[in-house]
Structure 1
């Protein structure tokens, strides 16, 4: 795994600085255990609970991005994923490091996975499975939105394009 500075986005930020809004593309993943609990990670950059997610690297597909992010942030290996929503209308936001982005993010459901959960990684302060009705406080805003869209998709509604 390359360092952030060596990643595509890190190298691009080194050229542009924090000022311009950059358009990024990536993936977020909903991974559930056999009991239906949702895997959340506590991000090391802002301390909030979120779904495993991140930005694509050059030469990578969105599927590969989702699988890589799950592994990097949890130690779990996602084997199959199903896309259910694409979020492209999110307003630009400034991260804790002062850089501003507008994200395009594909949401996927992890259909099969293996491995042992790592609660702490280079990118996470903690990771745990939570019942959908009892999520922790300090939750990223994308979590309820994504879980709601997954529930709609699983009830038969079409892929959501936002």
Structure 2
């Protein structure tokens, strides 16, 4: 069962420190490409941007477990085989609620998964697989960079560090 924002670790910390301070956001992102090389994207319920499944870690969770959980929460799919390909620690961003975070995030290539894709969840209003040259509407700014980092990892075999 998914936690509400207020129940999540990051929600509890944000509730304690308020809206002004920058917090560390530790999390994971899952990248799924199907057998037709189409990218799985969700349309987020909070800002309606199209994005890859991703989110914050909970206490006691590994980054890999976070990627699996977030993918399941946002798509209904359970990742069964995944590989880390990029580690990010240099992004600071302010979200639509005015909360500022420095992001520490691992991107995982999800090779295999189980389950049926849910087009709507508590965290997404739509989801689907899209050709890389025809991604939908308002997109998360990170999609292009993440795909470029995946291509770099696949070419070199070395984890991308940023």
Range of TM-score over shorter length: over 0.9
Match of 1:58 in 2: 59
- Once the 2 structures are TM-superposed, how far is the Cα of residue 157 of structure 1 from its aligned partner? 4.5
Distance between the aligned counterparts of 1:7 and 1:93, measured in 2?
19
- Once the 2 structures are TM-superposed, how far is the Cα of residue 102 of structure 1 from its aligned partner? 1.1
Match of 2:9 in 1: 8
Match of 2:89 in 1: 88
Gaps of 5+ in 1: none
Gaps of 5+ in 2: none
TM-score normalised by structure 1 residue count: 0.96
Q: Write out per-residue CA displacement over residues 8-67 of structure 1, whole angstroms, 9 at most, x where no aligned residue.
A: 011101100111000111001101112111100111111111100000000000000000
Distance between the aligned counterparts of 2:105 and 2:51, measured in 1?
14
Q: Does 1:44 align with 2:45?
A: yes
Q: Write out per-residue CA displacement over residues 54-113 of structure 1, whole angstroms, 9 at most, x where no aligned residue.
A: 0000000000000000000000010111000001111x2211112111111100000110
Q: Write out per-residue CA displacement over residues 122-143 of structure 1, whole angstroms, 9 at most, x where no aligned residue.
A: 0001101011121112111110
Tell which deviates more after alignment, 96-105 or 140-149.
96-105
Match of 2:99 in 1: 99
Distance between the aligned counterparts of 2:134 and 2:158, measured in 1?
27
Instruction: Find the residue that maps to 1:4 and give its secondary structure.
Output: coil
Instruction: Find the residue that maps to 2:90 and give its secondary structure.
Output: coil
Contact 2:119-2:125 within 8 A present in 1 as well: yes
Match of 2:73 in 1: 72
**How many matched pairs?**
161
Distance between the aligned counterparts of 2:18 and 2:84, measured in 1?
33
Runs in 1 of length 4+ with deviation above 6 angstroms?
none
Instruction: Find the residue that maps to 2:135 and give its secondary structure.
Output: coil
Match of 1:35 in 2: 36
Contact 2:38-2:131 within 8 A present in 1 as well: yes
Distance between the aligned counterparts of 1:2 and 1:139, measured in 2?
25
Match of 1:17 in 2: 18
Q: CA RMSD in A?
A: 0.9
